[in-house]
Amino acid sequence: GQNIDQPTEMTATEGAIVQINCTYQTSGFNGLFWYQQHAGEAPTFLSYNVLDGLEEKGRFSSFLSRSKGYSYLLLKELQMKDSASYLCAGSGAGSYQLTFGKGTKLSVIP
């Protein structure tokens, strides 16, 4: 099984940079995902890391360290619309199933 841990809430200022951390413990590992979920909506895909290192995609970057069981999502130039829950999810070895963390609710303030 998998255990995914991330902070419950964070607040950041518009235009700033915020880093959302995620730690995982898993018996098998096939990748780490980040999803964005606005209230009342389905999650939308942000990033996927399976190898160590940083993946950059516009204002969003995601980092993975397999040896440390650690990932973070970095959001730059924060906008008000970035206020949402950010879900860290792990995929087990040989499986399409995802185990989601409880999500980090990010509030962007002016």
Partner 1 sequence: GAVVSQHPSWVICKSGTSVKIECRSLDFQATTMFWYRQFPKQSLMLMATSNEGSKATYEQGVEKDKFLINHASLTLSTLTVTSAHPEDSSFYICSARDLGFANTGELFFGEGSRLTVL
**Residue ranges binding partner 1 (CB under 8 A):** 30-31, 33, 40-45, 48, 50, 87, 91, 96-103
Q: What Rg do the C-alpha atoms of the chain give, in angstroms?
A: 13
Q: Measured from the CB atom, is 16 or 87 closer to partner 1?
A: 87
Please state the closest distance from residue 19 (CB atom) to partner 1, in A. Answer: 20
Q: Measured from the CB atom, is 96 or 110 closer to partner 1?
A: 96
The DSSP H or E segment spanning 70 is: strand 70-75
Please state the closest distance from residue 102 (CB atom) to partner 1, in A. Answer: 4
CA distances from 77 to 1, 3, 33, 54, 60 (A): 36, 31, 21, 18, 9
Please state the closest distance from residue 100 (CB atom) to partner 1, in A. Answer: 5
- Contact at 8 Å (CB) between 74 and 63? yes
Q: Measured from the CB atom, is 3 or 13 closer to partner 1?
A: 3
CB-CB neighbours of 91 under 10 Å? 20
Q: Measured from the CB atom, is 13 or 95 closer to partner 1?
A: 95
